[in-house]
C-alpha cells in the first residue's frame, strides 16, 4: 500500500521530534549552563537543533499528508511508489542535521533529504495538476 508507510513513519518521526522538543525546553530552562545555551540562540548547535526540530515535524507532517493523498488517489495518480519513497528519504534532512550536531556527520544527508522532499512535493503537485477527474473524462 503506497502511502501507508508514509503515514506510519510520519507519525512516528513526528512523535520523536516532538519529544526532542522537550529536550530543547530542558536545555533552555532547566539544564546546568542554560545561560550559555540561551546566549547561543541564533548560532551554533542551538540554532541547528531548533532547525532540526522544526523541519523534523514539518517533514513528518508532509509524509502524513503525502501518504494520505497517495492512498486516497492511488488509482488516479502515476509514480506513487517513487513519490512515496522520495518523501520518506526526505526525512534524512532533519535527521542529518542532528547527525551533524551530535556525531559530526557530513551534511550530505541534509542535502539528500532536502532535495528528495522537494522533488516529492513538486512531483505530487504536478501529478495532481495532470490528474484527470472522473467527470472530466
pLDDT digits (tens, 9 = 90+) for 30-45: 999 888 877 877 888 8
| Residue ranges making up the domain that contains 11 | 4-136
Report the pLDDT value the prediction gives residue 132, as an integer from 0 to 100.
78
How far apart are alpha carbons 87 and 13 in whole angstroms? 13
Report the pLDDT value the prediction gives residue 136, as an integer from 0 to 100.
65
How far apart are alpha carbons 112 and 86 in whole angstroms? 10
Whether 69 shows a pLDDT value over 60: the answer reads yes
Report the pLDDT value the prediction gives residue 137, as an integer from 0 to 100.
55
What nine digits make up the cell of 20?
526532542
Q: What average pLDDT is seen over the chain?
A: 93
Cβ atoms of 58 and 14 within 8 Å: the answer is no
The three-point CA angle 101-43-113 to 5° equals 45
Whether 52 shows a pLDDT value over 80: the answer reads yes
Reported as a single tens digit per residue, the pLDDT across 99-113 is 999 999 999 999 999
Whether 135 shows a pLDDT value over 80: the answer reads no
Domain count, the chain: 1
Amino acid at each position: 500500500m503506497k502511502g501507508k508507510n508514509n503515514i506510519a513513519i510520519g507519525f512516528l518521526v513526528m512523535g520523536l521530534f516532538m519529544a526532542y522538543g522537550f529536550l530543547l525546553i530542558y536545555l533552555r530552562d532547566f539544564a546546568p549552563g542554560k545561560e550559555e545555551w540561551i546566549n547561543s540562540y541564533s548560532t551554533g548547535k542551538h540554532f541547528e537543533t531548533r532547525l532540526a526540530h522544526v523541519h523534523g515535524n514539518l517533514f513528518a507532517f508532509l509524509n502524513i499528508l503525502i501518504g494520505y493523498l497517495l492512498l486516497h488517489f492511488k488509482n488516479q495518480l502515476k509514480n506513487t511508489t517513487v513519490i512515496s519513497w522520495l518523501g520518506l528519504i526526505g526525512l534524512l534532512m532533519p535527521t542529518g542535521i542532528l547527525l551533524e550536531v551530535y556525531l559530526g556527520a557530513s551534511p550530505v544527508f541534509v542535502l539528500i533529504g532536502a532535495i528528495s522532499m522537494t522533488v516529492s512535493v513538486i512531483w505530487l503537485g504536478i501529478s495532481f495538476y495532470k490528474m484527470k477527474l472522473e467527470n472530466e473524462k
